[in-house]
């Protein structure tokens, strides 16, 4: 079923991004994801309490308040415990990952796939470059190295953080807030039309792989505030970043998912076993429907990468103008 109008598709092509309101239903589609993560947080809080790292499990608090309390008191964050992907270095056989059924059901949600079909056609592959981000207020962020799953993300193109094999692929990013995304709690900002300028050089830096600010038309950037259930679409060349969460007690929770036509390189060959065919008109029998099988594919990927982790991106300090 079509989701986008011709005018919306045209806007996406021209601007490189599109805000789609009310794609999913917050009560029916988003709440089960938050419930699943509340269970993950409960496990973390119980363990920290048993270790004596926190004086209370904060079991009576709702998800956001509980996460802030647990992180602030323990001085620790748990991005990898929530994420449904793996880090780009240091993967071990027991690196935490959460690949639960509510997450899979979101990746495979018929409305998501209808939306993707409008832009990339009926042969749809779920690209395994994907994350959940719990963007914390500064007082709950653990001191030490920056982590883009809990803090701001610098200017980049998604094409810039994957391998060159996918430079000609048509990867669609669907960014989905699970709680309101506001300027105060660190929503995304995009540079309209930036997808037309090709791949801009990126450099490794303290906030991760980033386009140097001098190469970004920051004065043209648009901050995109969003409601849960709406979706922000971006091409793989759209320049974007996220703002800092400057609230005292709010957490911006979001998923970023990616879809592409079946058969094109994903740009993350290291995660190959974890990608899957999400919809196929030509070969419906190849579609993955089983959340447990998907989870198992991630566990297999993790085991393989614990043995041998290849490169995850192309940029190196000291090359291509990078300091
Ligand atoms: O959610 C964020 O803060 C950043 C997300 C992002 O940059 C992406 O999905 O490519």
- CA-closest residue to ligand 1 atom 3: 242
Mean pLDDT for the chain? Answer: 96
Q: Does ligand 1 have an atom closer than 6 angstroms to the CB of 158?
A: yes
Write down the pLDDT at residue 309: 81
Confidence of residue 48 (pLDDT cuts 50, 70, 90): very high
Residue 185 CA, ligand 1 centroid: distance in Å: 13
Q: Is the pLDDT of residue 144 over 90?
A: no
- CA-closest residue to ligand 1 atom 7: 241
Residue 174 CA, ligand 1 centroid: distance in Å: 10
Model pTM?
A: 0.97
Query: 89-121: string of b/e by CB count within 10 Å (b at 16+)?
Result: eebeeeebbbbbebbbebbbbebbbbbbbbbbe
Specify the ligand 1 atom closest to the Cα of 254: 1
DSSP letter string, 112-175: HHHHHHHHH-SEEEEEEEEEEEEE--GGGSPSSS--TTTS---SB-GGGGS-GGGTTS-PEEEE
Q: Does ligand 1 have an atom closer than 6 angstroms to the CB of 153?
A: yes
Q: Does ligand 1 have an atom closer than 6 angstroms to the CB of 117?
A: no
What are the structure tokens assigned to 171, written together?
A: 């990867």
Q: Does ligand 1 have an atom closer than 6 angstroms to the CB of 266?
A: no
| DSSP tag of 274 | G
Write down the pLDDT at residue 28: 98
Of the residues 188, 191, 202, which should be mutated to test ligand 1's pocket, given the most ligand atoms within 8 Å of the CB? Answer: 188
Write down the pLDDT at residue 310: 86
Q: Is the pLDDT of residue 182 over 80?
A: yes
Q: Is the pLDDT of residue 308 over 90?
A: no
Query: Tell me: the pLDDT tens digits for 266-290?
Result: 999 999 999 999 999 999 999 999 9
Of the residues 131, 162, 232, which should be mutated to test ligand 1's pocket, given the most ligand atoms within 8 Å of the CB? Answer: 131
Q: Does ligand 1 have an atom closer than 6 angstroms to the CB of 175?
A: yes
Query: Tell me: the pLDDT tens digits for 187-212?
Result: 999 999 999 999 999 999 999 999 99
Q: Does ligand 1 have an atom closer than 6 angstroms to the CB of 185?
A: no
Residue 161 CA, ligand 1 centroid: distance in Å: 11
Query: Tell me: the pLDDT tens digits for 73-126?
Result: 999 999 999 999 999 999 999 999 999 999 999 999 999 999 999 999 999 999
Higher pLDDT, 316 or 57: 57
DSSP letter string, 65-130: HHHHHHHHHHT---HHHH-SS--SS---TT------HHHHHHHT-HHHHHHHHHHH-SEEEEEEEE
Write down the pLDDT at residue 217: 97
Residue 288 CA, ligand 1 centroid: distance in Å: 26
Helix (H, G, I), strand (E, B) or coil at 296: helix
In the chain, the domains with their CATH numbers are 6-26+81-307 (2.60.120.620)
Q: Does ligand 1 have an atom closer than 6 angstroms to the CB of 236?
A: no
């Amino acid at each position: 079923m079509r989701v986008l109008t011709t005018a919306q598709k045209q806007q996406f092509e021209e601007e490189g991004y599109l805000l789609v309101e009310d794609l999913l239903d917050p009560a029916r589609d988003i709440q089960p994801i938050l419930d699943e993560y509340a269970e993950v947080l409960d496990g973390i809080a119980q363990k920290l309490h048993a270790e004596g790292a926190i004086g209370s499990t904060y079991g009576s608090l709702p998800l956001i308040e509980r996460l802030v309390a647990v992180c602030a008191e323990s001085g620790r964050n748990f991005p990898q415990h929530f994420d449904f992907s793996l880090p780009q270095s240091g993967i071990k056989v027991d690196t935490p990952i959460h690949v639960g059924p509510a997450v899979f059901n979101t990746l495979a949600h018929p409305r998501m796939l209808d939306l993707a079909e409008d832009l990339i056609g009926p042969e749809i592959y779920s690209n395994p470059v994907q994350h959940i981000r719990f963007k914390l207020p500064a007082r709950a962020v653990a001191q030490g190295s920056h982590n883009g799953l809990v803090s701001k993300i610098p200017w980049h193109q998604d094409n810039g953080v994957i391998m060159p094999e996918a430079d000609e692929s048509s990867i669609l990013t669907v960014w989905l807030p699970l709680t309101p995304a506001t300027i105060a709690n660190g929503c995304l900002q995009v540079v309209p039309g930036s997808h037309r300028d090709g791949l801009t050089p990126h450099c490794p830096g303290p906030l991760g792989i980033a386009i140097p600010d001098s190469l970004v038309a920051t004065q043209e950037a648009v901050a995109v505030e969003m409601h849960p259930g709406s979706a922000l679409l971006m091409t793989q060349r759209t320049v974007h970043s996220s703002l800092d969460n400057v609230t005292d007690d709010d957490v911006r929770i979001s998923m970023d998912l990616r879809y592409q036509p079946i058969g094109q390189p994903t740009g993350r060959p290291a995660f190959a076993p974890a990608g899957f065919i999400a919809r196929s008109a030509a070969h419906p029998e190849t579609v993955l429907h089983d959340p447990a099988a998907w989870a198992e594919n991630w566990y297999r990927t993790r085991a393989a990468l614990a043995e041998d982790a290849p490169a995850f991106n192309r940029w190196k300090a000291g090359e291509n103008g990078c300091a």
